[in-house]
């Protein structure tokens, strides 16, 4: 292996520093995706989601465990996806889920309850795939980790 000169080491360090700072900037400026809900070809409504971090994923999971802390602990998958979608909805679009007139009609107590009541299971799954991609859980990342 060839030893690097001082200039080459400085250049490599600068490149690494720039790459790390670019990665941090990318994480801070979250990408948004528009989700369109259509049924039978009819547009119903749309909203935007963005990626969520590990703490939010964990919170959603923890809050949707049935029999938490017991040997038969189980995740309520549909409710978990509903809460993750609610958390990923950008602030200016959360009014869709936080409409108190809708809460009353549906018997909802939270915005996640509205997500759960309105979206079909397949819609939640499709949105969850977009959310996972926005949160960095994509095939490229998985392949990169496997090849380390």
Segment 67-92 shows an average pLDDT of 89
pLDDT value for 35:
97
Model pLDDT for residues 1-44, shown as the tens digit of each residue: 677 677 776 776 776 776 666 666 555 557 899 999 999 999 99
Cα 12 → chain centroid: 33
Provide the pLDDT for residue 22: 63
pLDDT digits (tens, 9 = 90+) for 93-125: 999 999 999 999 999 999 999 999 999 999 999
Strands (E), the chain: 32-39, 42-50, 65-66, 74-75
Q: Tell me, what's the pLDDT at 145? A: 56
b/e map of 120-147 (b: 16 or more CB within 10 Å)? eeebbeebbebbebbbeeeeeeeeeeee
Give the whole-angstrom CA distance, residue 79 versus residue 117. Answer: 10
pLDDT of residue 87: 96
pLDDT for 147 equals 55
At residue 90, the pLDDT reads: 95
């Amino acid at each position: 292996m060839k030893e690097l000169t001082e200039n080459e080491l400085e250049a490599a360090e600068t490149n690494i520093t720039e790459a790390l700072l670019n990665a941090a900037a990318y994480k801070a400026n979250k990408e948004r995706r528009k989700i369109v809900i259509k049924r039978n070809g009819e547009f119903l409504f749309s909203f935007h989601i963005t990626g969520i971090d590990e703490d939010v994923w964990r919170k959603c999971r923890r809050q949707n465990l049935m029999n938490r802390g017991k040997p038969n602990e189980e995740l309520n998958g549909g409710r978990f996806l509903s809460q993750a979608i609610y958390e990923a909805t950008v602030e200016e679009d959360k009014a869709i889920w936080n409409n108190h007139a809708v809460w009353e009609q549906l018997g909802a107590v939270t915005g996640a309850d509205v997500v759960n009541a309105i979206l079909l299971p397949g819609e939640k799954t499709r949105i969850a795939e977009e959310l996972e991609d926005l949160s960095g859980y994509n095939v490229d990342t998985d392949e990169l980790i496997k090849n380390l």
